[in-house]
């Protein structure tokens, strides 16, 4: 089950399409969905989590808490809509594309992908692009 929660005045326009897309990504990666909760928030909300749980005093676009066991995907993904909006401008892409990138980024972490080394980042970006193309075709 995919749940979308909103801590700010924001709402996905196409929750059903995005849910189906996320489920397809999980299936394509060889995993099974148990439950993923997305929480859309602002910078302040996410910054507090970053400091409290990760000891990082920085702004970020996403924090994910992974409760996956084996091949069963479970977790909470917090996304700062403010950061996504700013990053979309910085990367010269649409807000929607950047939002989709961040949404799938969290899922890819649950599927075992990392982004600590240059090689890991390359693989992660490739997977993100693959799945962003998939949602664009829906």
Domains present along the chain, CATH in parentheses: 2-136 (3.40.390.30)
d(CA 73, CA 40): 19
Whether 115 has a binding-site annotation, put simply, is yes
Task: Specify the pairing of strand 62-66 against strand 72-80.
Answer: antiparallel
Q: Quick check: 64 and 99 in contact, CB under 8 A?
A: no
d(CA 3, CA 37): 5
Q: Is 59 exposed, middle or buried (0-12, 13-18, 19+ CB in 10 A)?
A: middle
Whether 109 has a binding-site annotation, put simply, is yes
Q: Quick check: 69 and 62 in contact, CB under 8 A?
A: no
Angle at 60 between CA 14 and CA 136, to 5 degrees: 30
Model confidence, pTM: 0.92
Q: Quick check: 22 and 36 in contact, CB under 8 A?
A: yes
The pLDDT profile of the chain, 138 residues, written as one tens digit per residue, is 999 999 999 999 899 999 999 999 999 999 999 999 999 999 999 999 988 888 788 888 999 999 999 999 999 999 999 999 999 999 999 999 999 999 999 999 999 999 889 999 999 999 999 999 989 766
């Amino acid at each position: 089950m995919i749940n979308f929660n909103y801590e700010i005045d924001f709402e996905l326009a196409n929750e059903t399409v995005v849910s189906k897309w996320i489920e397809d990504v999980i299936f394509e990666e060889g995993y099974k969905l148990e439950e993923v909760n997305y929480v859309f928030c602002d910078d302040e909300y996410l910054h507090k989590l970053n400091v409290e749980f990760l000891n990082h005093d920085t702004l970020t676009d996403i924090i994910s808490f992974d409760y996956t066991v084996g091949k069963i995907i479970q977790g909470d993904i917090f996304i700062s809509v403010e950061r996504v909006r700013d990053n979309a401008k910085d990367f010269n892409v649409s807000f929607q594309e950047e939002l989709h990138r961040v949404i799938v980024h969290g899922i890819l972490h649950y599927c075992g992908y990392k982004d600590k080394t240059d090689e890991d980042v390359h693989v992660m970006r490739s997977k993100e692009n693959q799945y962003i193309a998939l949602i664009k075709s829906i």
